[in-house]
Structures are given as structure tokens and as C-alpha cells.
Amino acid sequence: MKLNDWKRTLRNLGYPELPRAERRPPSGLAAMYGSASAPKLGHIKDISSTGIYLQTEERWRIGEVISMTLQREAPSECLSQLQINVQARVATHGEDGVGLAFVLPTDLDSTLWEALVDHADAQPETEHIAYLFRLVRTILFLSRLCPSGAQEAIQSLGNELDASRTRSAMKIALRAEELLAEQPDAGLMHAHPRIVASILREASWSNDDLLNQLWAGLLASTCAVEETDESYHAFAELLVQISAAQARIFVAGCRRAREMMSELEKAPSGQIIITPEEMTKITGTSDFFRNAAEISSLFHLGLLEKVVNLTSYIPKDTINITPSHLGLELYGRCRGHALSGSRNSL
């Protein structure tokens, strides 16, 4: 995307072009580096669009590339959401720290990066600034995920997609980034650019938090260290047809089925049976026929084993929401099942 395209995109999304800030030592901006289990906090003495001077006792070798997170300084219990993951190459050693040059992907427009650096420590933390952080963080993640070229996925943000769909796509991408970050080989995992772009386009129609979690898990499960998983097509085609209410029924049934499997250490032999009252808690409506219609849709998609009989006008005392083998496989994908030790909350 060209420079003027990004400026127009930000304006169209309701975020006018920000005035360029004067270069100065950042106030309240820090860098986290080191292992994910024991990160270290370093004070940024000076920052520009090309690099930073980090006050630290570390003396990495010249030319070494360091992964770090730039974020607002805050107590550990209330860390700001304004943070960005970036790589930087060691350029110089100083008495109290090191000078690092940012290593940015070619997919990241310099206009966005300069705007982010110029306003990274702006006060107060406005939604304009928060949106810019999320946008740049999303682009950096997509570029790392698709080193062979993430242009298609990136250009859809704010271009092919409107403001609402762009926000949904960013939320899903960043959730997938969190899932991948839990993996020991996260930095080596990649996905096919076409797959990523396709998933984000389809997923961006959803504004439902649970559906967004399902899409994020599906995106994460397509990533691998070696060959990327291209079997996502069938699962994406299923997920795009599921409504918010159906997602709640589907997830409730699969959760219970997985609990039975963990207890028995094999496929559950029983059925997942719930009461109408439990169904009301799941979907938020006590309309039996509406809930039955949602179950019927899941059955016809092949995700549930049984369908509610709508030929009778008498509401049932119990409802069967046992997931099918296909349903459990889709659920596993949407929990990022290919990722060992994934802590997806689904």
C-alpha cells in the first residue's frame, strides 16, 4: 500500500493524520527484552524512527538482532495495552547501554511507523494512539507470520475491509499472536500468506467475541515450523456459517465432551444432554423453537450428532447437544490444537 493510501485509510477510519512530534527522549516508554518467562525491563534513553538507545547492563555483540517489546512504563499489575513487538539490530555500545537500529519488514509503511514512534509516549492515551499501536502491531505480526509476503493480508486492512471489519480482523490476528507466543518455537512458525488473508477476510464479518476466539484459534492452528497447514478450507467454510448463538451451543457441547474424554481418556461414550434452563443460559433466550432451530442448523452442518424434532409443538424436557466427530475436530482446530500446551480459553 502506498504512503498516501495509508493516510487516506486512517482518515476514512476516523483517525485523522497526527501532527509530527518533536524528537525527544521518550517519557514513560520502556523496552522489555529477554525470555518470555523472565523478561527484563530497560529504560529507553533516546528514540527515533530508526532506532533507540537502551540503558542496560547487557552488551550484545554488534550486529546481533534482539527481539523486544516497546511499551508504556506502568506497574506490573496494570501494564498498558499500548505495546509493540519489534526487532532491532545492535549498532553501538555505550557506557550505560547499547544503541539499536530497528529491523522493520518491507510490508510496513514508513508513514505508520514514524507516526507510531513520534506519538508512542503521547499523553493522554487516546483511542487514536491505541488504534495506531494495534494497527502497526498487527502488520508486524502478519509480516513475521508470512515472511514470503504478507501484502495481501495487510492491504485488506482499511482498504478492502471497512472500519468495523478492519477492527475485527486486527482483534483476531492479535489473539492468534497471543496463542502463538505461548509456544517455545513461536519465532519459527509461519503460515501461507493466502491462507492468512483468506481467514482474516472471512473472520472480519464477525463482531462476536466468542466467534473471534474461534477464528483466532483456527488461524493459529494453520501455523507450523515447517510445512504450513492448508487443510483449513473445510473448517473455515463451516465456521463462516455459524451464528453467535450457534457458536455458544457448539462450544458448550464440545467443552463437556472434552471433559468426558479427559476423564475417560478416550472418546466419550455418553451423550451431552442439557435442560431447557441450561440452554437458556447458553443462548440468552428461552424461546425453545428458536434454540431448536439453532441446533438444527448445527446438525445440518454436521457439527452435532442429533437434531431437535421440530414436528412437535411440545417443548422437550431435555436437549441433546452432543458434538459429532467433525464438530470435535473443528473445535480442536479453533482451540489451536496443533499448538502444544496452548492455553486457549475456549
**Could you tell me which residues come within 8 angstroms of residue 230 by beta carbon, excluding any fewer than 6 positions away?**
192, 195, 222
List the grid coordinates of 168.
Answer: 475485527
| Sequential DSSP letters for 64-119 | -EEEEEEEE---GGG--S-EEEEEEEEEEE-SSEEEEEEE--TTS-HHHHHHHHHH
Residues counted in the chain: 346
Q: Answer for the pair 339, 221: CB distance below 8 angstroms, yes or no.
A: yes
Q: What is the pLDDT of residue 280?
A: 93
Q: Answer for the pair 42, 30: CB distance below 8 angstroms, yes or no.
A: yes
Residue 275 half-sphere exposure toward CB, CA atoms < 13 A: 3
Q: What is the pLDDT of residue 7?
A: 56
Q: Answer for the pair 338, 229: CB distance below 8 angstroms, yes or no.
A: yes
List the grid coordinates of 223.
Answer: 501455523
Q: What is the pLDDT of residue 238?
A: 93
**Could you tell me which residues come within 8 angstroms of residue 311 by beta carbon, excluding any fewer than 6 positions away?**
none
Burial of 89 (0-12, 13-18, 19+ CB in 10 A): middle
Rama region for 322: left / alpha / beta (φ>0; ψ in -120 to 50; rest): beta
DSSP H helices in 82-123: 110-119
Q: pLDDT (tens digit, 9 = 90+) per residue, 286-320?
A: 998 899 899 999 999 999 998 776 666 566 788 88
Residue 98 sits at φ, ψ, to 5 deg, of -135, 150
DSSP H helices in the chain: 3-12, 110-119, 127-145, 151-155, 163-181, 193-203, 209-221, 232-239, 244-264, 276-283, 288-300, 325-334
Of 97, 116, 147, 154, nearest to 20 (Cα)?
Answer: 116
Q: What is the pLDDT of residue 71?
A: 84
Please identify every stretch of the chain with a pLDDT value under 50, giving residue numbers as ranges: 1-4, 77-79, 341
Q: Answer for the pair 115, 107: CB distance below 8 angstroms, yes or no.
A: no
Q: What is the DSSP letter of 158?
A: I
Stretch (H or E) spanning 47? strand 39-47
Q: pLDDT (tens digit, 9 = 90+) per residue, 29-66?
A: 888 888 767 788 888 888 888 899 999 999 999 999 99
Q: What is the pLDDT of residue 13?
A: 52
**How far is Cα 228 from Cα 221, in angstroms, rounded to an integer?**
9
**How far is Cα 130 from Cα 6, in angstroms, rounded to an integer?**
17
Amino acid at 192: H
CA angle centred on 203, ends 201 and 208, rounded to 5°: 145
Give helix 232-239 / helix 209-221 axis angle, nearest 10°.
180
